[in-house]
Amino acid sequence: MLEDHFVRPQTADRIRGSWLGDAIETYLIWLEGHAYSSRCVIRRVPHLLRFGEFARGRGTHHIEELRDHLDAFVASQLRRRIQPCRSKASRKRYIIDQRLPIEQFLRVLELSTVASAPTVARPFEHWAPGFFGYLLQVRGLTTTTIAAYAHHLSRFEQCVVARRLSGPEALSPAILDDFLADRRADVCARSLGPICAALRAFLRYLFREGIVRRDLSAVVARPRTYQLSNIPRSVGVEDVERTLAMVDRRSVVGRRDYAMLMFLVVYGLRAREVAALTLESIDWKASVLHINGRKAGHAAAYPLAPEVGEAVIDYLKHGRPETPDRRIFFSVRAPRAAITHRIVSLRAKFYLGKAGVAVAHPGSHTLRHSCAQRLVDADFSLKVIGDYLGHRSTDSTRIYSKVAIEALREVALGDGEVIL
């Protein structure tokens, strides 16, 4: 393994002789399995050896203790830098370059030593160890929702730790209000709703299990929002065509991105639905596209549009890596993992910006709204549009009644008597 990357046998022997030798070889297996280049391996291994010797010098003899020395190691590397960083941006970039390989190395070791390690953080496990099991087994929440709860509660746990609370009984309405006020400074009222939902579920569980004597969930009030207060983030057909024209389909990333954008434009799929597509999602003989596990909990089937099929075939033949994973879309750079919904949205945002399309909050939903706009312009009913977009309720589709912005503006500015 090491001999594949290092020419001198003495170098491989020195790495194996290190107290991190076995861990580094485990990491190399992971790197090769995720298509990292030999150049990357040669650059990272000496960095890991330096980190290992630094931690050893501070009295560390166990891999489990390495993470405690990461910040000190990065600070020492920053001090030993021959040329000081010229700006805050370059300093930040240097720190990231020092931290990321070691953090990835530690994550790989944790996954290899504990195969059943949880994929999400479990905040407040010392207060309520059964909370996340309750969400999964009793409430029946999806893993995506549970991960979102864990993310929001991790922020709340940081607030609790900063206040040095003695236990859950020390929670009070004032602490909850201060936390929500701090979060409100960073997010909009609509985005604060899921945070409140996670807090209420956690506080109800504490009271239900007798961990606390007061049920504080009632004091967490969801911020008031109004239906149809916003307008869809749609763009015109010309803007969509200009966005698609920005994709350079001569490259692997261009072929992949063009196929992803076509799913957004033609079918109005969500970013999560595009990222979850598998080779079994397309029935080539029947020319049918199957979308399973939609947000509303149902499945859908669409006729496979020829232009979409051609884009997918082009990517499958000349871009998709050889992998046993059945997902369609993969990252181009190492690690060659299946893409996430965030990548789908970011790539849509990139091409909208490249095309010069001015729209608030550009992303995958911009193209989804544009698909809905074409259906509205074609005089389809809201029920048909909702079914096509995968809505559970017609209330979710009512927002598209406001898609014809220019027509509504003419009505608002025109003579009311003419309309009557």
- Catalytic residue from among 44, 365, 369, 374: 365
- Catalytic residue from among 152, 270, 320, 347: 270
Instruction: Annotate 259-313 with DSSP letters as a single string.
Output: HHHHHHHHH---HHHHHT-BGGGEETTTTEEEE-S-TTS--EEEE--HHHHHHHH
Query: Alpha-carbon distance 110 to 292, whole Å?
Result: 32
- Catalytic residue from among 14, 107, 295, 402: 295
Query: Alpha-carbon distance 277 to 128, whole Å?
Result: 36
Q: Is 368 a catalytic residue?
A: yes
Q: Report which DSSP code applies to 222.
A: P
Q: Which two tokens stand for residue 302?
A: 């669409």
Q: Is 365 a catalytic residue?
A: yes
Query: Alpha-carbon distance 127 to 146, whole Å?
Result: 17
Q: Is 317 a catalytic residue?
A: no
- Catalytic residue from among 27, 149, 267, 400: 400
Q: Is 270 a catalytic residue?
A: yes
CB atoms within 10 A of CB 343: 19
Q: Is 391 a catalytic residue?
A: yes
Bridge partners for 301 per DSSP? 290
**76 close to 54: Cβ distance less than 8 angstroms:** yes
Give alpha helix (H) positions in 34-172.
Answer: 38-57, 70-80, 88-113, 131-137, 143-163
Q: Is 295 a catalytic residue?
A: yes
- Catalytic residue from among 200, 249, 255, 368: 368
What residues are annotated to the active site? 270, 295, 365, 368, 391, 400
